[in-house]
Amino acid sequence: MLDRLFIECIFACMSTGHILLGLLTERPKHGYELKREHDDRLPGVKPIAYGQVYATLQRLERDGKVAVSGTAKEGGPERTVYEITGDGADEVHRWLAEIEPPAPYVSSALFVRVVLALIAEGTADGYLLRQRAAHLERMRELTARKNTAGISAGELLATDYALYHLDADLRWLETARQRIDELTQEIRT
């Protein structure tokens, strides 16, 4: 049973291909433009490498989701401009119609520490308080960032997302503290 709970941390399989296709629905764009828009519009998502943009575009072109529509030259080197195909547009809309699987997300690292603290030290109280302090400190930083002037709406939402997840962890920690006796018993038997 415990093994089942140690579910591997599920990283949301965010497909770069879908993101690029989505950005292309506005108008044809070249690779550098796509990288810049990716990073600007999705703050909080790991910045994408230019090489990855290029590779993904080539894969999409091979699958017939995008096509080369011309070249652009704005001061710098000449760049290939891609446009989305009918297939590609269908793919984006199909993808948007899906939902993210609401995975049974267990913050495995926290859980492992609580269990090991109970096994090795007989109490998890100290750990829970320290973890709470660390979480709250991070939440304070994020809150402060939210309160800085001129923050974009996108950044605000991304920060909120992080805050809500930290908050969920904290509430789980508090519940863990209240359930610690049951857990101790379960581990000892």
Site residues (vs another protein, CB under 8 A)? 129, 132-133, 135-136, 139-140, 142-143, 147, 163-164, 166-167, 170-171, 174, 178
Q: In the structure encoding, which two tokens stand for residue 120, read together?
A: 């090795």
Name the minimum Å distance from CB 94 to another protein: 32
Nearer to another protein (CB atom), residue 93 or residue 179 = 179
CB 142 within 8 A of CB 167: no
Nearer to another protein (CB atom), residue 67 or residue 183 = 183
Nearer to another protein (CB atom), residue 59 or residue 132 = 132
Round to whole Å and give the CA distance between 147 and 158: 14
Name the minimum Å distance from CB 146 to another protein: 8
Name the minimum Å distance from CB 59 to another protein: 40
Helix residue spans in the chain (DSSP H): 2-5, 16-24, 31-41, 50-62, 86-97, 108-121, 125-146, 153-178, 180-188
Name the minimum Å distance from CB 54 to another protein: 40
The number of CA neighbours under 13 Å toward the Cβ of 44 is 15
Nearer to another protein (CB atom), residue 178 or residue 185 = 178
Nearer to another protein (CB atom), residue 52 or residue 143 = 143
Name the minimum Å distance from CB 22 to another protein: 26
Name the minimum Å distance from CB 48 to another protein: 30
1-10 own/partner pairs: CB under 8 Å, 24+ apart: 5/106, 5/111, 6/106, 6/108, 6/111, 6/112, 7/103, 7/104, 7/105, 7/106, 7/108, 8/108, 9/107, 9/108, 10/103, 10/105
Nearer to another protein (CB atom), residue 40 or residue 137 = 137
